[in-house]
């Protein structure tokens, strides 16, 4: 392992050009080799994980890390099985690279093709979830990107063990280039990563709000992710109250700390909401009628609640306070639903369903890179496609622009 970050980044850039050209077959073989090697070496990984867990337990006792961080850190047979299955699932997906997105004859014998290709080098910064390594590595390989991973310090032994098993599998995969996967370890490496816009094309943070906010504020490299998940449900005047109850309870209690959980409920003034409020309270939800801020993300069984005069007020409130993640309207009136879905500017805008559906697997993407609240490139749950861009090729036989500029030839632009 080199310790000079610039060398690692440069080598990753070179590797990114090599993995861009390898076949689907080689990539899938690499993924299956990784899956098999993890299965074969899982005891070694559990041993390394035990070292991390032993250190972590004292940190939990001292209150320096939470019990839930400890739980995320812990690998067991179930998590390992999911990790291995996840890699096999990614191997089974269509190759996102080399897809023809447009083919157009510009003129006789002059053919333009728009073709999907990898982005280049991904920088991935994640917290105490060592299973991220295998998942991101598999996504990067399938999409022909190189990657530089920086994990949490609490899981350093586990991370090294997993990466060594993965790297060993790649070393034994014929025609697989070196330096595609790279791991760095220090805070200083993170600082360097965020500055390396010459070599790193996209940063993917996997962790809590604080991590994502810090990264977004400290880099000019594009960041794919979301800091906040302030999702809203608007209960319209024409709502079916039974649906409203069940949707809000699901969206708040099914997994309260998820980013797609509801944080604010807006209710039309013409709704008699006594019954609704009682149902939420019976489900263990604490209702906050006057929050300090309408930007509040609770992450627990608690939500902000507001009565609104009209659907317009609801839309304006959401467009002002939402983090742009996911919102839902409950109504039996289709015109109202259409208006809401048109006017609300979020990655997901739903009608009569729980906000918790915002998820790459539920959308049928087969794999999820993360959820993005960006306004460019990729928005909402991001599948493999979010790790691709495109290039244009033109095939010709000596054509020059002068002939077209002077009217000797002309374009006919036929899609083929």
Size of the site for a second copy (CB under 8 A): 74
Give the residue with the Cβ less far from a second copy, 88 or 316. 316
Strand bridging mode 146-150 / 370-372: unpaired
Structure tokens at 340: 């809401």
Give the residue with the Cβ less far from a second copy, 50 or 414. 414
Q: Residue 269 interacts with a second copy (CB under 8 A)? A: no
Give the residue with the Cβ less far from a second copy, 110 or 165. 110
Residue 371: CB minimum distance to a second copy, A: 11
Task: With beta carbons less than 8 A apart as the criterion, state whether 163 and 29 touch.
Answer: no
Residue 376: CB minimum distance to a second copy, A: 4
Q: Residue 321 interacts with a second copy (CB under 8 A)? A: no
Among 171, 175, 242, 335, binds a second copy (CB under 8 A): 242
Give the residue with the Cβ less far from a second copy, 92 or 389. 389
Main-chain dihedrals φ then ψ at residue 247, nearest 5 degrees: -65, -45
Give the residue with the Cβ less far from a second copy, 44 or 195. 195
In the sheet that 110-118 helps form, which strands lie side by side, from edge to edge? 110-118, 100-107, 414-415
Helix (H, G, I), strand (E, B) or coil at 1: coil
What residues between 8 and 37 interact with a second copy by CB under 8 A? 16-17, 20-21
The torsion defined by the Cα of 66, 71, 74 and 80, in degrees rounded to 10, comes to -150
What residues between 353 and 372 interact with a second copy by CB under 8 A? 353-354, 356-358, 362-364
Q: Which residue from 413, 407, 342, 389 is spatially nearest to 201, judged by alpha carbons?
A: 389
Q: Residue 416 interacts with a second copy (CB under 8 A)? A: no
Give the residue with the Cβ less far from a second copy, 290 or 401. 401
What residues between 129 and 158 interact with a second copy by CB under 8 A? none
Residue 10 sits at the vertex; the CA angle it makes with 7 and 16, to the nearest 5 degrees, is 140
Among 79, 88, 195, 243, binds a second copy (CB under 8 A): 243
Pick the stretch among 26-34, 68-76, 204-212, 213-221 that binds a second copy (CB under 8 A): 213-221
Q: Residue 294 interacts with a second copy (CB under 8 A)? A: no
What residues between 99 and 128 interact with a second copy by CB under 8 A? 104, 106, 110, 112, 117, 119-120
Give the residue with the Cβ less far from a second copy, 50 or 377. 377
Among 76, 220, 408, 416, binds a second copy (CB under 8 A): 220
Structure tokens at 82: 């999911």
Pick the stretch among 130-138, 165-173, 274-282, 386-394 that binds a second copy (CB under 8 A): 386-394
Helix (H, G, I), strand (E, B) or coil at 24: helix
- DSSP annotation of 189 reads H
Site string for a second copy, 332-351 (x = CB under 8 A): -----x---xxx-xxxxxxx
Residue 262: CB minimum distance to a second copy, A: 12
Pick the stretch among 127-135, 162-170, 248-256, 294-302 that binds a second copy (CB under 8 A): 248-256
**In the Cβ-directed half-sphere of 347, how many Cα atoms lie within 13 Å?**
30
What residues between 176 and 205 interact with a second copy by CB under 8 A? 201-202
Q: Please give the full DSSP string across 246-282, using - where no structure is assigned.
A: HHHHHHHHSSTTSTTSEEEEEEETTS--HHHHHHHHH
What residues between 388 and 407 interact with a second copy by CB under 8 A? 389-402, 404-405
Structure tokens at 170: 């790649």
Give the number of residues written for the chain.
Answer: 416
Q: Residue 275 interacts with a second copy (CB under 8 A)? A: no
Q: How far apart are CA 69 and CA 74, in angstroms?
A: 9
Q: Counting beta carbons within 10 angstroms of the beta carbon of residue 311, is it exposed (0 to 12), middle (13 to 18) or buried (19 or more)?
A: buried
Task: With beta carbons less than 8 A apart as the criterion, state whether 321 and 292 touch.
Answer: no
């Amino acid at each position: 392992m080199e310790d000079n970050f610039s060398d690692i980044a440069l080598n990753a850039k070179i590797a990114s050009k090599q993995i861009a050209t390898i076949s689907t077959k080689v990539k899938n073989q690499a993924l299956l080799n990784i899956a098999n090697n993890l299965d074969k070496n899982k005891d070694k990984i559990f041993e390394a994980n035990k070292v991390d867990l032993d250190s972590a337990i004292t940190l939990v006792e001292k209150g320096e890390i939470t019990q839930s961080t400890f739980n995320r850190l812990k690998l067991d047979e179930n998590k390992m099985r999911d990790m291995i299955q996840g890699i096999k699932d990614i191997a089974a997906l269509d190759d996102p690279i080399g897809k023809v997105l447009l083919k157009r004859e510009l003129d006789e014998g002059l053919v333009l093709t728009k073709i999907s290709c990898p982005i280049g080098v991904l920088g991935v910064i994640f917290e105490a979830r060592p299973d991220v390594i295998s998942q991101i590595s598999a996504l990067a390989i399938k999409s022909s990107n190189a990657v530089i991973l920086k994990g949490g310090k609490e899981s350093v032994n586990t991370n090294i063990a997993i990466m060594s098993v993965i790297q060993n599998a790649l070393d034994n995969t014929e025609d697989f280039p070196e330096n595609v996967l790279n791991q760095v370890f220090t805070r200083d490496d993170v600082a360097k990563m965020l500055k390396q816009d010459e070599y790193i094309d996209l940063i993917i943070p996997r962790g809590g709000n604080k991590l994502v906010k810090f990264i977004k504020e400290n880099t000019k490299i594009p960041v794919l992710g979301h800091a906040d998940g302030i999702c809203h449900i608007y209960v319209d005047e024409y709502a079916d109250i039974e649906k409203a109850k069940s949707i809000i309870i699901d969206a708040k209690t099914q997994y309260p700390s998820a980013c797609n959980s509801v944080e604010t409920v807006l209710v039309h003034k013409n709704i008699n909401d006594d019954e609704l409020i009682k149902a939420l309270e019976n489900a263990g939800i604490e209702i906050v009628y006057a929050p300090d801020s309408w930007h509040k993300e609770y992450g627990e069984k608690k939500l902000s609640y507001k009565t609104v005069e009209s659907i317009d007020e609801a839309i304006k409130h959401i467009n002002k306070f939402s983090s742009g993640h996911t919102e839902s309207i409950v109504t039996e009136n289709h015109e109202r639903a259409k208006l809401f879905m048109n006017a609300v500017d979020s990655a997901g805008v739903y009608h009569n369903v729980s906000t918790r559906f915002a998820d790459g697997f539920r959308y049928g993407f087969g794999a999820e890179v993360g959820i993005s609240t960006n306004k460019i490139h990729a928005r909402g749950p991001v599948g493999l496609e979010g790790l691709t861009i495109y290039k244009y090729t033109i095939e010709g036989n000596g054509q020059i622009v002068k002939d077209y500029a002077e009217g000797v030839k002309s374009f006919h632009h036929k899609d083929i």
